[in-house]
């Protein structure tokens, strides 16, 4: 054992050591207090997290009509809600960490898109989100059409950790859409067949040089023919509307001279305009205005606008058809001179001095079967398909259809179409 | 002028339409050699008397006009028969399907009789009318 010599120097060292021990003890106590405090904080945070997770789980568990499936990056299922259990017929315990999302998809459908998980997530990866119909195959082997929204999932550090698949069963909805489509096709076929006979035999009677008709007979049969044609147009409009609804309306674009389209529309409306004592003016530019489009459909769109204008204009009024080539600025403004950042467009406008459309009804104007109150009040004939068809044709051409109207003063429809550069 | 009146087979399940087509054939200077109201009868008729032209309705019972047309094309004896399809479906899809089956021409119902006469004349005189 060594003894410390009680010299003044040694005494000073002992005091120093004692002071150091006291400092360290105090520091230890402070650390311990800090640890206790942090423990408490951690416990609170843990409880909050658990509560939040519980909320999330209960929300996901409450979703019974949509399937919510979460996977890791390899497509292994990690989240499987009651909606998924109900739709696909397997309990969570049999799926989570044990099955791949692709196990529940129709293999041919995935193969057609390049196969595997990649087929499912390719667009969501590129665009952050993808919604479309996929075919799910249930545990019982039944196929269901499901609208699936695919989004990437990230972990707590913001790293991409997997994928979410939120699905809504659309099997019945799609089936009824198909049924409606088939019904419209069937009806239009069934109506067209007798109309073919009516119109064909009428033509034979009207054009028989060996047995000429009296003026009176000719006029009666002319009425029959006009009405048969009207029925035929209606059937065509219904069929076209159904095709647009089903997304089966496609264009085969070719160069279309819009001046010719407008001249034809003016000619087609001439008889009705004369009968209603409505003046019809045509205002065309000197140079050709050519767009890429379907001449028949564009003709139909212009015919609809012009015949509407004539129908909605009382005797003594005026309908003006005009065509201009110009530029459309980013804010939609139209100029006849090139403007910076503008796109070349053709602009068809059909103005009338007719009954006009109440401002409150303008929003619904392009809705199928909608009829303005001014149409009903003035007994203007129609079923309310023309403008929805015109709008669909315009949209399919990448154009826009606008309307300005003042009740009692008239209406102007403007159809703007892009001109290929 | 053709050395003989063109022999035409007319097939449509609608009697009235068939009557109209037969009349158009005669107006075009042709002879109706057979009439049929369904696909199989049309095929049998074409096999027993090979016509110059077959005017076929697209939607017929038994076999559609498209199926009849495809079969005519596939058999050596009838491969050269000219085919005009008539259909109440007039979409571009319908026309494309019709021409893909091997038809020479396609006319949408309802047709103008004068237009049908012109089309039949074109098809029975090799386009030299």
DSSP A301-356: HHHHHHHHHHHTS-TT-EEEEEEEEEEE-TTS-EESS--TT-EEEEEEEEEE-S--
Residue A4 has pLDDT above 60, yes or no: no
Cβ of A197 within 8 Å of Cβ of B17? The answer is: yes
Tell me the average pLDDT across A187-214.
Answer: 89
User: Does A29 or B90 have the greater pLDDT score?
Assistant: A29
Domain ranges of chain A: 1-59, 63-169, 174-245, 254-418
Nearest in space to A321 (alpha carbons), one of A281, A269, A267: A281
Can you say whether the dihedral through the CA atoms of B83, B89, B91, B93 is positive or negative?
negative
B7-124 belongs to which CATH class? alpha beta
The residue ranking higher by pLDDT, A346 or A188, is A346
**Residues of chain A with pLDDT > 90: what percent?**
56
Burial pattern A49-86, b for ≥16 Cβ within 10 A else e, equals eeeeeeeeeeebeeeeebbbbbbeeebbbebbbbbbbe
Residue B39: its pLDDT value, please? 95
Whole-number pLDDT of residue A6? 58
Rounded distance, CA B45 to CA B7, Å? 12
Mutating which of B14, B92, B110, B116 best tests the A interface, going by the most A Cβ atoms within 10 A? Answer: B110
β partners of residue A323: A348
Mean pLDDT, rounded, for B95-113: 87
Least confident of A16-20, A52-56, A197-201: A52-56
Contact across the interface for A203 and B114, Cβ inside 8 Å = yes
Q: Which residues pair with A72 in a beta bridge?
A: A162
- The predicted structure's pLDDT at residue B126: 63
Contacts of A130 (CB under 8 A, 6+ apart): A121, A122, A123, A124, A149, A150
Provide the pLDDT for residue A184: 80
CB contact under 8 A, A192 and B110: yes
pLDDT of residue B2: 47
CA distance B75 to chain A (A): 31
pLDDT at A10 over 80: no
Please state the domain extents for chain B.
7-124
Residue B115 forms contact with A (CB below 8 Å): no
- For the cut 90, the answer to whether the pLDDT of residue B33 exceeds it is yes
Helix orientation angle between B65-74 and B92-100, rounded to the nearest 10 degrees: 20
- pLDDT digit string, tens, across residues A100-121: 999 999 999 999 988 889 999 9
What integer pLDDT is reported at residue A378 of this predicted model?
A: 75
Using a CB-CB cut-off of 8 Å, the residues of chain A touching B118 are none
Let me know: does A68 contact A79? Beta carbons within 8 Å. yes
Residues in a beta bridge with A352: A319
Give the C-alpha separation, A326 to A335, whole Å. 6
Question: What integer best gives the mean pLDDT of chain A?
Answer: 89
What fold does the segment set A254-418 form as a domain?
Heat Shock Protein 90 (3.30.565)
User: Are B110 and A201 in contact (CB < 8 Å)?
Assistant: no
Chain B residues within an 8 Å CB radius of A227: none
Mean pLDDT of A306-310: 93
Q: Torsion over CA of A367, A368, A374 and A380, rounded to 10 degrees?
A: 150
- Per-residue pLDDT band for A349 (boundaries 50, 70, 90) equals very high
Total count of residues recorded for chain B: 129
Q: Per CATH, is A63-169 categorized as 3.90.1170.50?
A: no
Residue B129 has pLDDT above 60, yes or no: no
If you count them, how many residues does chain A have? Answer: 421
């Amino acid at each position: 054992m060594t003894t410390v010599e009680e010299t003044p120097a040694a005494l000073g060292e002992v005091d120093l050591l004692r002071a150091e021990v006291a400092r360290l003890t105090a520091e230890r106590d402070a650390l311990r207090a800090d640890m206790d405090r942090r423990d408490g904080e951690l416990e609170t945070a843990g409880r909050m997290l658990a509560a939040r997770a519980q909320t999330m789980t209960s929300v996901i568990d409450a979703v019974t009509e949509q399937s919510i499936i979460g996977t890791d990056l390899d497509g292994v299922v990690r989240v499987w809600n009651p909606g998924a259990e109900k739709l696909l017929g397997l309990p969570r315990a049999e799926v989570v960490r044990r099955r791949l999302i692709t196990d529940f998809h129709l293999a041919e459908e995935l193969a057609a898109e390049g196969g595997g998980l990649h087929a499912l997530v390719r667009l969501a990866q590129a665009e952050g989100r993808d919604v479309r119909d996929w075919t799910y195959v249930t545990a019982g082997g039944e196929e269901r059409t499901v609208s699936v929204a695919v989004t990437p999932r990230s972990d707590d550090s913001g790293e991409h950790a997997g994928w979410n698949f939120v699905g809504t069963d659309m099997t019945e909805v799609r089936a009824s859409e198909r049924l409606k489509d088939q019904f419209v096709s069937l009806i239009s076929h069934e109506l067209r067949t007798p109309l073919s006979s009516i119109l064909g035999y009428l033509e034979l009677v009207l054009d028989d040089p060996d047995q000429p008709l009296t003026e009176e007979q000719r006029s009666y049969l002319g009425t029959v023919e006009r009405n048969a044609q009207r029925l035929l147009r209606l059937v065509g409009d219904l069929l076209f509307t159904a095709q647009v609804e089903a997304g089966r309306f496609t264009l085969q674009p070719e160069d279309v001279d819009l001046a010719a389209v407008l001249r034809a529309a003016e000619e087609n409306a001439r008889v009705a305009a004369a009968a209603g004592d409505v003046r019809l003016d045509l205002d065309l530019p000197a140079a050709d205005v050519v767009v890429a489009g379907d001449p028949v459909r564009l003709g139909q769109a212009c015919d609809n606008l012009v015949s509407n204008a004539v129908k909605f204009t009382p005797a003594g009024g005026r309908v003006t058809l005009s065509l201009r080539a110009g530029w459309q600025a980013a804010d939609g403004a139209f100029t006849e001179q090139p403007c910076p950042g503008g796109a070349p467009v053709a602009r068809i406008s059909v103005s009338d001095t007719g009954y006009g459309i109440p401002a409150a009804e303008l929003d619904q104007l392009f809705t199928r079967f909608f009829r303005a109150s001014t149409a009903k009040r003035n007994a203007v004939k129609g079923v309310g398909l023309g403008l929805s068809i015109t709008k669909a044709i315009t949209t399919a051409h990448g154009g826009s259809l606008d309307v300005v109207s003042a009740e009692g003063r008239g209406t102007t429809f403007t159809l703007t179409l892009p001109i290929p550069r | 002028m053709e050395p003989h009146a063109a022999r035409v087979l007319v097939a449509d399940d609608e009697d009235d339409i068939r009557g109209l087509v037969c009349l158009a054939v005669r107006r075009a200077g042709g002879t109706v050699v057979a009439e049929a109201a369904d696909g199989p009868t049309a095929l049998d008729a074409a096999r027993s008397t090979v016509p110059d032209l077959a005017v076929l309705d697209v939607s017929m019972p038994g076999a559609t006009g498209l199926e009849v047309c495809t079969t005519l094309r596939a058999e050596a004896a009838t491969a050269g028969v000219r085919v005009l399809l008539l259909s109440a479906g007039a979409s571009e899809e319908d026309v494309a399907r019709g021409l893909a089956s091997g038809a020479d021409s396609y006319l949408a119902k309802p047709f103008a009789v004068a237009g049908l006469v012109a089309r039949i004349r074109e098809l029975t005189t090799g386009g030299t009318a």
